[in-house]
Every structure is written in C-alpha cells, then in structure tokens.
A and B are shown apart, each in its own frame.
Chain A
Amino acid sequence: MSQNSAKPLESNEKIDTQWSHRWRSVRTKSGALSFTLIFGLLLTLALIQAQGFKPIPTVWEGIQYSLGDPTSIARTLAWGLPLCVAAIGVALAFRSGMFNIGAEGQIYAGAMAAAIVGAYIGPMFTGLHLALCIIAAALIGGLIAGVLGWMRAVWGVDEVLSTLLSNYIIVLFCAYLATSPLRDPDRQSGTTKAVFDSAMFAEIMPKTGLRSAIFLVVVLCLAVWWLSEKSTLGYRWRMTGESASFAASVGINVKRAQIQSMVFSGALAGIAGALLVTASQGRYWTAIGSGVGWDAVLIALIGRARILPTIGWVLVYTIMRSGARGVEQVSEVPAELSLILIACIIIIAAARAGVLYKVTGIGRRLMPKREGDVNGMV
C-alpha cells in the first residue's frame, strides 16, 4: 500500500490488469443479472401457484405467447416500441442528474399532439404526415420538460416533485381536450377523432400490430446511445449528472447541460406518445398512456440510466408483460403480474449488494454510503 515508490505500471502490466479488471466487472454484472432473473422466475412461479394453477406449464404458456412463433415475437416487439423510446429518454435525463419523473405526462402530451396533427391536418404524403406528427410530439414533450428543467436549473425547483405534479396536470388537461373541444362526436367521451391513414405507420406483419415504426425506434436507440455514451455533448451531460461542481469547475455550462438533457428527454417521451397514436391506437383516448411513463422510469432506474442496459431491460420487461398476458389467457392470474415482477426485480437488484454482505460478510466495500456517514461509521 505504500505509495512512496510511485512508478508507473509497465505497459504490459497495465494492459493485463486493465483487462482483468474488465473481466471481473463483466462477471460481477452477469452474476447480478442472473441472480435477479432467477429471483423473478421464482416469484412468478410462487404467485401462479398461489392462485391454484400449475406454475411451470402456465409459465411455459406465457413464454409461448410472447416468443413462441414469429407472430408472437412481432406482437411482443410492437408493444415494446413506445416503452423503449420513453425509457431511453428518461435514462438520458437521469444520466445528467435530472430526474425526469414526468415521462407519463410528456407521453400523453405527445400523443395528443400527434393525434391533433394526424387528424386535423392533411391527408398528405405519409412520410411527411408522420414526420409532422412526430415532430409535433417531440416539440411539445421537449417544451414541457425543458420548462421544468429550466425551473430546476435557474430557480432551483426540485425537478422530481415538479415533474411528478406536471403529470397530473397534463393528463387532466388532455382529458379535458378529449372530452370537450376535440372530442370525436361518434365515439364515447374522452376519445378524439381518428387520424388519417396517412398518419399511421405501415403494418409490417398483419395482425401483430408491428409497424414500420420499429425502424424509427432502432434509429433512435442508436442515436441516443451515441449521444449519451460516446459524444462530447453526452460527456458534458454525464459529468453534470456525476458531479455538478466538477462540471462547473472544468468549464462545462451546467445549466445549459441540464436544460438540454431535459429537452431531449421530453422530446423522446413525446415521440413515444406519438407512437402510441400513430403506430397503435390511431387516435387519442384518455387511458392511452396506461402507465408506460412509470414503467419507463422504473426501467431506466434498473438499467442505471445506461442506454444499452436500459434497452436490454425494456426487452426483458416487454417479454415479461407479453408473457403475463399469455398467462392470463390460460389461467386467472391477472396480467398485472408483470408490474409486480418488475417492481420486485428492481428492489432485489438494488438489494443484491446488501443481501450478499449480510449472508457472506464480504463485499462491505460494495455497500453504498449515506450522506453524513463519515468514515463509513454507520
């Protein structure tokens, strides 16, 4: 431990230890992942058993439903598209230290914007119409999140509460729009006019709901990954999120980084909302969001706000959710099973270090410390 004879590591030595360090971290992470997934599986089996159904065949049915054949896979993927976009948007903001819990509201706003542009403007060439819908949704989502981000950056308004409250305000406002001025007279209250066909993504596989929007989503994922993890802009955002004082000290414009990341985050959430309309429902209705925003927040947390793990967890969750529907069809176990699972998974993933320590006494250094915990005294 003596640093007196400080000499740089020899170059060969350095590469070896750098790789062994990487290997160790990969092993730890895959260990953590398996631990979590196995726990999830056990919980599922227990819940199904508790309802009085045979666990393993039921789960197998669920897996068949979600992944059994190309139709199922397409259907599963289709469900996951809006969530994916929203989750990477939320992750982007989290990375910058901005806890955008308002994804739900931004999704609703984006859906409403897309529904309006899709139904009241046009019809026109599909590509253009879709582009307008998407852009409108991105603008409105970005604007909302940007304002909330500005309030945090300049006025110090805690964005957790402000984004939380904004959810309710926005959803209520959209509900007003859908029940009065923009209501479709031929349908029940709370639904807007159907959008023109030119404002809908084309179906790739009939009867699965999988539309060409998947290409857009893939492009967005790549773009956001590059932005967050590789680009210089992403570097500034990450440093702002890691330590705002460090970022300020080295000359990063912290306020600008905070607002920028929120704008992008809201824009992505808005786009997710647009997808709900243009790649799925065809119109806005009051329960269109149905918790996608909350799922996005949870997944971004599980994925620790890193883009690739977040996308991975979106896939896992989508399969879980799809599987839960399958389970519901063959048993009486409600599909909300997936919600229970994902909430428990995040707890168990976060508790893993603690459980390990309790059980084996090792890994004390992995344990997170609290503020005020000087020298790890508590």
Chain B
Amino acid sequence: MEWFEAFFGSGIRFTTPILLAALGGLFTAWTRDLNVGLEGAMIFGAFFGVMIGLNSESWVMAVVLTTFLGVMSGLIFGYIVAELKVNVFVAGIALNVLGAGGTVYLLRSLFGVKGTLSGESVPSIPRVDLPVISEIPFFGPILSGHTVLTYFSWVLVAFLIWAVHGTKLVRHLKASGEHPAALATAGGKVNGMRIFAQAWCFALCALAGVQLSLGQLSLFTEGMTSGIGFVALAAVIFSRGRVPLLAIMCFGFGLSSAASVVISDDIIPPQFAQMTPYVVAMIGLIIFARTSKGSAMRIATPVMDKL
C-alpha cells in the first residue's frame, strides 16, 4: 500500500498549484477575459516567493508579499485589458513570454545565477499534521501532512461553491462577461469586475507559484512551471465555469502528474510518464469538444485586424 499512499499523496501535492491557478483563471473565465498567461503569472510567483523568502527568511513574508505583488500586477494587467482595450489573449501570451524571460533575467542580474536558485536559507512552507484526520486508517496519511496552501485551496473551493449563489459579486462577475451591456445599464461596474477578476487571478497564480517553489522544492528553477498553467487553463475550460467540476478535474490532472513520480524508469522511460498530464488534458479536450453543443467556451482569440 505504500505505492497507493505515495501516488495519492503526491497526487494531492501536485494538485495544489494546478487548483490554485485554475481557481484564479476561473474568475477570468466568468468575465470572458480568459487569461492564458497563467503560466507566466505562476513562474513570477515562484521566483518572487524564493527571492523574498531568501531575503526575509520567513515563508509567511514570502507568501504574503508575493500575493500582494500578484494583486498589484493583476490590477495593472486588468487595467491594460479593460481600460486600454488590449486583447486579453495577446496580453496573456506576452505575459507568458515575459515570465519566462523575465525570471531568467532577474535570476542572472539579481543573483548572478544560471539555472537554479537554491540554498539553505530558502525557507519552505511547513507541512501540517492534521490532529484528528491523520489518525484515520488508510486515508489519514494521505490527507494529512500537506502544506498550509493545500488546505487553503480546499477551503477556497468550499467557499466558492457557496459564493456562486450567495454573493452579489459572483453575479456581477458573470454578468460582466455574459452580457456586459445589461450590467452597465443596471448600474453595475463592468470594467471594475474585469479588473477585479484579473487581480484575483494573479493573486492565486502567485500563490500557486509559491506553492511550487517554496512548498514543494524550496528552490527556483528556470521554467519550473513546465506547462502547469496550461493544464490549469484546460481544467477551467472543461469545467465550463463550475467550481465542483473544476476541483475534480484539477485533482485528475494532479493524479496524472503524480504518475510520473510513482512509475519507475524500468517500466516506461521517464519522458512518457511526464507526458501523462498533457496527454490526459488533450484527451479531455477532445471529449469536451465532441460532447459540447454549440456554445463551448472558445478562447477569446483576437480578430487580427483589430489588434
């Protein structure tokens, strides 16, 4: 049963960044400003988490400040998209390139390092042993012992499931995407909603990045997000904007990422195991397309003339 524990335990661990990023992207899906730059936001979060952690030697500072930076960046991004009318797809692609290039740039210019930034003074997010739950046979060890951020993501899912019907905010977010004119004439603030959604998205992606760098490995490597942002994007699209479905899909992707850890190199070469989440996402994409009727959530690609 060690295998089982390792697989599901790893699965939950791998799910967290995907889930956080997806919950961030969800709001932008509701406002129909789908942010395809989740990858870029995440890698910035990972980098700044390690950088602030190194300087402050406190994981709490790292988490809080990185999130704050995320919110600020999200506000700027939201302003660019909502007020300056830059196409959100273009902005997202630019964000991804900026993330990849920018983190390498900062790594070299601030730390003089190529490849990986690590060290003894990089704090890691502590694992929490849940008092009662860890006693449960079989499931206990799987559910307990994860980082604070993992548990936070679970709480967030529950909160959002309630918030969809219990808050005005979510109503307005959805209205601003589905029929902005209706919201505007009803006195709501459409651009305010759009900017808020981006700020939320960046904040959660920053957290996802911090979980990746400080929570799992206590270091930063160039390109460490390796496509997780796109997997999260796929989850957002498959879930058609529904929170429970989103959580399940993220967990599915998390498990398929764990496959590469659990399956040893003798059975199949490591690269094939690493392919699992992407292949799963691809298959999911095909199923999603074949079972959709008409109004599937298409990524808002720009009309080339109106850039």
Say if the two chains contact directly (CB < 8 Å): yes
Q: If the complex has contacts A176-B269, A342-B97, are A169 and B279 also in contact, measured as CB distance less than 8 A?
A: yes
In the complex, whether B292 has a CB less than 8 A from a CB of chain A is yes
Chain B residues touching A, range: 35 or more
**Which B residues lie within 8 Å of A242 (CB)?**
303, 305
Q: Which residues of B contact A374 (CB under 8 A)?
A: 181
CA distance in complex: A94, B278 (Å): 24
Write the B93-111 contact mask toward A (1 if CB under 8 angstroms, else 0).
1111110111011001100
Asked if A155 contacts B286 (CB within 8 A), the reply is: yes
**Nearest neighbor of B279 in chain A, beta-carbon distance:** A169
The interface residues of chain B lying within 8 Å CB-to-CB of A180 are 269
Partner of B101, one of A172, A179, A340, A358: A340
B90 within 8 A of A: yes
Q: Verify if A297 is at the interface (C-beta below 8 Å from B).
A: yes
Q: How many contacts between A and B, using CB within 8 angstroms?
A: 185
Q: For the A-B complex with A158-B289, A165-B278, A241-B304 known, give 18 more contacts whose Cβ atoms are closer than 8 Å.
A: A99-B301, A156-B296, A160-B36, A160-B299, A161-B234, A164-B233, A165-B285, A169-B282, A172-B275, A294-B96, A298-B97, A336-B104, A339-B98, A343-B95, A347-B86, A368-B87, A370-B180, A371-B300
B residues less than 8 Å from A283 (CB atoms): none
Which secondary structure dominates chain A's binding surface?
Answer: helix
Taking a contact as CB atoms closer than 8 A, the residue among A97, A157, A337, A355 that contacts B84 in the complex is: A355
Interface residue count on the A side (C-beta < 8 Å): 67
Indicate whether A377 reaches chain B with its CB closer than 8 angstroms.
yes
Nearest Cβ on chain B to A114's Cβ, whole angstroms: 20
> When the two chains form their complex, are residues A161 and B237 in contact, meaning their CB atoms are under 8 A apart?
yes
Q: Are A336 and B275 interface neighbours, CB within 8 A?
A: no
B86, B281, B305, B306 interface centre (most CB from chain A within 10 Å): B86
Q: Mark A361-378, 1 if CB is under 8 A from B, else 0.
A: 000000110111111011
Known: A169-B282, A176-B272. A158 touches B299 (CB 8 A): yes
B86 x A294 contact (CB < 8 A) = no
Q: Mark A328-357, 1 if CB is under 8 A from B, else 0.
A: 000011101111101110110111011100
Given A176-B269, A334-B109, A343-B94: A378 in contact with B190 (beta carbons within 8 A): yes
A155 to B288, CA, bound (A): 10
Do A164 and B100 touch across chains, with their CB atoms under 8 A apart? no
Tell me the residues in window 133-172 of chain A with beta carbons closer than 8 Å to chain B beta carbons.
Answer: 151, 155-158, 160-162, 164-169, 172
